[in-house]
Amino acid sequence: MEPVRSSIELLEPLPDNTCFGCGGANPIGMKLAFELDHAQRRSRGRFQFGPDLQGGNRTLHGGIIAVVLDEAMGKLTRLAGVRAVTAELNIEYLRPIPIQEPVEVEAWEVSRDGRNLHYQGEIRNPEGKPLARARARFVAIAPR
């Protein structure tokens, strides 16, 4: 009998990657880590952001929200077996995201059209209430 293999792939920051969002080699980067669920075809991350990433009123800066959603959706390109770049990104800021409170981000594929990969993502509080939502179009530039 073969051992059961997990469908979850951990995507930790790589020490030679200088990406601001997910790289391990950027000294001022966020070093975001994700799980890629091959069975459910989703990416997920759990985070708690500190005051160094705040906008006003002790809430997470809108640009940082965009980075987190873009990174979560970008991880899905692995499931498509391609390297891709963000071509369009639309963010809905639904509620302020308090700093120093845990959140979860999740992303999933909506459709594919040739080289165009259409994704959606959400940031939620621990109770599952959506705080921000995104839609994006990525364009495949090379096989992975």
- Taking only the tens place, the pLDDT of each residue in 13-56 is 999 999 999 999 999 999 999 999 999 999 999 999 999 999 98
Mean pLDDT of 117-129: 98
Strand order in the sheet with 130-143: 8-11, 34-37, 42-47, 103-113, 116-124, 130-143, 82-93
pLDDT value for 111:
98
Domain boundaries, the chain: 8-143
pLDDT digits (tens, 9 = 90+) for 67-87: 999 999 999 999 999 999 999
pLDDT value for 6:
78
Please say if the pLDDT value at position 3 is more than 90: no
The second-level CATH assignment, the architecture, of 8-143 is Roll (3.10)
pLDDT value for 2:
55
**Strands (E) located in the chain:** 8-11, 34-37, 42-47, 82-93, 103-113, 116-124, 130-143
Please say if the pLDDT value at position 101 is more than 90: yes
Around Cβ 70, how many Cβ atoms within 10 Å?
Answer: 20
Torsion of CA 136, 141, 143, 144, to 10 degrees: -60
Q: How far apart are CA 5 and CA 23, in angstroms?
A: 27
Percentage of the chain lying above the pLDDT 70 cut = 97
pLDDT value for 16:
97
Q: What is the three-class DSSP state of 91?
A: strand
Q: Which two tokens stand for residue 38?
A: 């091959």
